[in-house]
């Protein structure tokens, strides 16, 4: 059974360009985990429905008060990143996430190396590693998690 390390980095922007650049670098061969996205997410009466993730990302870049979680699975078994994630927080930030199967980790593929690489790639030092846990909902909560 798989046991995942979740690596998260946060930025104070919602750039679609940054999100796609991140995904293309860390998870170039990916498959969306959903074919429908609701605004607000999980709403029984959505104000908008998207069927293309790129359109959703355009919307979320402009409408910074909506929270959303988007997931992709890896379709390349040579890539140690099993899943890619983007979390749009209700306070206008974006959390970039990677999940790695701890059963498949070799010394050069440890979560700590991935965190360092993500921080360098995204030009921030704000990130952490957890295990099978979603990230916090806001920038302040994310920072508080790191301080603990």
Q: DSSP readout, 85-121?
A: EEEE-TTS-EEEEEEEEGGG--GGG-HHHHHHHHHHH
pLDDT of residue 106: 59
Average pLDDT (32-38) is 94
Judging by beta carbons within 10 Å of its beta carbon (0-12, 13-18, 19+), is residue 87 exposed, middle or buried? Answer: buried
- Give domain limits for the chain: 4-147
Tokens of 121: 């790639």
Whether residue 118 has pLDDT greater than 90: yes
pLDDT of residue 119: 97
% of residues, the chain, pLDDT over 90? 83
**Model pTM?**
0.94
Average pLDDT (52-69) is 97
Return d(Cα 27, Cα 39) in angstroms, integer: 25
For the domain made up of 4-147, give the CATH fold: TBP-like (3.30.2030)
């Amino acid at each position: 059974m798989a046991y995942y390390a979740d690596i998260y980095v946060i930025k104070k922007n919602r750039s679609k360009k940054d999100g796609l650049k991140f995904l293309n670098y860390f998870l170039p061969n990916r498959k969306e985990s959903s074919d429908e996205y609701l605004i607000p997410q999980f709403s029984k009466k959505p104000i908008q429905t998207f069927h293309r993730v790129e359109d959703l990302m355009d919307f979320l870049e402009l409408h910074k008060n909506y929270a959303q979680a988007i997931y992709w699975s890896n379709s390349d078994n040579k890539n140690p990143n099993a899943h890619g994630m983007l979390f749009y927080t209700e306070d206008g930030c974006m959390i970039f996430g990677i999940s790695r199967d701890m059963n498949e980790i070799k010394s050069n593929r440890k979560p700590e190396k991935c965190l360092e690489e993500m921080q360098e790639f995204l030009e921030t030092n704000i990130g952490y590693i957890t295990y099978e846990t979603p990230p916090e909902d806001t920038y302040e909560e994310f920072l508080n998690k790191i301080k603990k």
